[in-house]
Amino acid sequence: MAKKTVADIPVGELKGKRVFVRCDFNVPLDDKQNITSDKRIQAALPTIQYLIDKGAKLVLASHLGRPKGEVKAEFSLAPVQKKLSELLGKPVAMAPDCIGAEVNKLVSGLKDGEVLLLENLRFHKEETKNDPEFAKQLASLAEIYVSDAFGTVHRAHASTEGIAHDLPAYAGFLIEKELKFLGEALTDPKRPFVAIIGGAKVSGKLEVLKSLLGKVDKLIVGGGMAYTFFKARGTKVGNSLVEPDLIKDAKEILKTAIDKDVPFLLPLDHVVADKFAEDASVQVVPRTTIPDGWQGMDIGPDSVKKFGNAIKDAKTIVWNGPMGVFEMDKFAVGTIAIAKAVAEATENGAVSIIGGGDSASAVKKAGVADKMSHISTGGGASLEFLEGKVLPGIACLLDK
């Protein structure tokens, strides 16, 4: 899936050109509209700075939150404008909208190397509906389109797919990096290749499990989703989270693992609680003895050891989803231990790819984020990539 990037645009063709860059500035804000993590803005800087240095006129666009087609002050990109100006060390102008006469005027007034940030794309319902007319209005603002918002490429929206019908479309450096790490993990992984899949439910990870079973040397499954597999094996799980309608699928996945001779590692023991709360009573029990009325909240010490041994010798590791309810410190022990095991394997030469979302939060909580080879900026997009799905926001970009 080799796509043309901004670096493939002849330098002379960038100077003085209007370039529409789709960024992912969907940053977390506190109740005073302060950005609590600028990680996503930082991730876009290499592409933005490259285009500034080449003398392009930048039109940046993003969504923030879910305003559902209505103008809502709490979803304004104004805090992003302020932070971006600070990080770039130069003023970034802010448009009052993303289309319309005022926006056209601001864009036409841009000088080489100047930056204009459009207001939230999702203030218009046409954005998520991929309305062709809205996409054309966005496209009319520029001569070149650059996609650098990996977290949105699994959605066919006006600014992620529709706009590419009217402009030459290139990948930014962030998307190039995502495709390199995720693509190589699936097509040419260094072996042994170990996947760690966790999180609350099987339902969101069913297809990725099926896909990975044909590629990995070992598959580790933890988190709430493990209990549907235990139930499929006839094991009592107490009050643990189970998706009854997916038990049949879980049985088929377990059978596929046996047929393909892929070790399918489930927890050996569990940290269980008498209620879903930080102040719950807790005990550690073997995998087959969860008492009635108790629920699994984390993997136990024997599981940590078993999973750690499987990770230790890996040369490629893909991790998506925590091993327990890691948001509560009492039940974060297993997830943090696995994060540290992945970090250690990375230091010993493994390529580690963390699949965004909760997994990214988990490695940060464990204090080992800087030791991972790659932390994806798109949880949903990375999952769909691992499933082997066509991502509309990638498919629309020019092929090398």
Helix, strand and coil content of the chain, in percent to the nearest 5, comes to: 40, 15, 40
Question: Can the peptide bond before residue 392 be classed as cis, meaning omega within 30 degrees of 0?
Answer: no
Q: Residue 298 is which amino acid?
A: D
Catalytic pick from 199, 238, 321, 357? 357
The phi, psi pair for 296, rounded to 5°, reads: -70, 130
* Strands 295-299 vs 269-273: parallel, antiparallel or unpaired: antiparallel
Active site residue 40: yes
According to DSSP, residue 276 is labeled: S
The DSSP-derived string for 318-381 is EEES-SS-TTSGGG-HHHHHHHHHHHHHHHTT-EEEE-SHHHHHHHHHTT-GGGSSEE-S-HHH
Catalytic pick from 305, 380, 388, 389? 380
Residue 376 Cα distances to 7, 295, 305, 352, 363, angstroms: 21, 31, 26, 11, 12
Active site residue 308: no
**Binding annotation for (2R)-3-phosphoglycerate:** 40, 122, 155
**Tokens encoding 22:** 């789709």
Q: At 173, is the secondary structure helix, strand, or coil?
A: helix
Domain 189-387, classified CATH 3.30.70.2190, yes or no: no
The DSSP-derived string for 153-171 is TTS--TTTTGGGGTS-EEE
pLDDT digits (tens, 9 = 90+) for 307-356: 999 999 999 999 999 999 999 999 999 999 999 999 999 999 999 999 87
Let me know the angle formed at the C-alpha of 39 by 83 and 179, rounded to the nearest 5 degrees: 130
**pLDDT the model gives residue 127:** 98
**pLDDT the model gives residue 1:** 59
**Binding annotation for ATP:** 205, 296, 327, 356-359
Active site residue 183: no
Catalytic pick from 136, 201, 210, 330? 201
Same topology, domains 6-176 and 189-387? Answer is: yes
Predicted TM-score of the model (pTM): 0.89
Cα 210 from Cα 208, distance rounded (Å): 5
**Binding annotation for substrate:** 24-26, 40, 63-66, 122, 155
According to DSSP, residue 138 is labeled: H
Q: Residue 171 is which amino acid?
A: A
pLDDT digits (tens, 9 = 90+) for 1-41: 589 999 999 988 999 999 999 999 999 999 889 999 898 99
The secondary structure element, H or E, covering residue 309 is helix 301-312
| Cβ atoms of residues 35 and 27 within 8 Å | yes
| Cβ atoms of residues 149 and 41 within 8 Å | no
**Binding annotation:** 24-26, 40, 63-66, 122, 155, 205, 296, 327, 356-359
**Tokens encoding 337:** 């231990």
The CATH code that applies to domain 6-176 is 3.40.50.1260
Catalytic pick from 18, 40, 231, 340? 40
Domain residue ranges of the chain, discontinuous segments joined by +: 6-176, 189-387
Give me the residues of the chain with pLDDT under 50, please: none
